[in-house]
Amino acid sequence: MNTYVLDTSVVLQWIHQKHELHPKQAQKIFEDLQSGKINILIPNLLTVELLNALLIGKKTSTEEANLAVKEIFESTLTIVEVTLPLLFETSVLMREYSLTSYDAYFLALAQTEGCQLISDDQKAHGKITDGTVLMLEDY
């Protein structure tokens, strides 16, 4: 069974599909997770970034944002705690690819776990061509 790390750009499309680029592919990932075809890992910091994207970026209500985060916690995906070794690897990847700490942390988790990161953030992750990143449109 394949394991993937998802970044916030993918999880956001499970919840808020209006005006998103690849909601069908994001929904397929969710269905594959629910049916047990794949495993999904997310760092716990994704939930914080998701709240920001929903409340600030998408202007959703507090209730809707809280419900979305609750659903993430209650889903079958695995939430991984932030660790010092991953933060150290994150700093290396930040410099190597000119990424934000969040974007680099998702990549570091995928590399450490020996799996692919699925992202819909072309600006951040589209430039990584070593096979570690699978862009959402290609899922």
| Predicted pLDDT of residue 136 | 96
| Predicted pLDDT of residue 20 | 65
Provide the pLDDT confidence category of residue 18 given band limits of 50, 70 and 90.
low
Sheet holding 116-119, edge to edge: 78-80, 38-43, 2-6, 116-119, 133-135
Q: Which residue has the tokens 């979305």?
A: 68
Residue 116 confidence (pLDDT) above 70: yes
Encoded amino acid at 111, one letter? Q
The pLDDT tens digits of the residues spanning 82-101 come to 999 999 999 999 999 999 99
| Predicted pLDDT of residue 113 | 97
What span, in angstroms and rounded, lies between the C-alpha atoms of 107 and 127? 12
Provide the pLDDT confidence category of residue 21 given band limits of 50, 70 and 90.
confident
Mean pLDDT, the chain, integer: 93
Residue 17 confidence (pLDDT) above 80: no
Whole-model pTM?
A: 0.92
| Residue 30 and residue 14 in contact, taking contact as beta carbons nearer than 8 Å | yes
Highest CATH level, class, for 2-138: alpha beta
SS3 119: strand
**Which H/E stretch holds residue 41?**
strand 38-43
Encoded amino acid at 43, one letter? P
What span, in angstroms and rounded, lies between the C-alpha atoms of 14 and 133? 19
Structure tokens at 99: 């990424």
Residues of the chain with pLDDT > 70, as a percent, come to 96
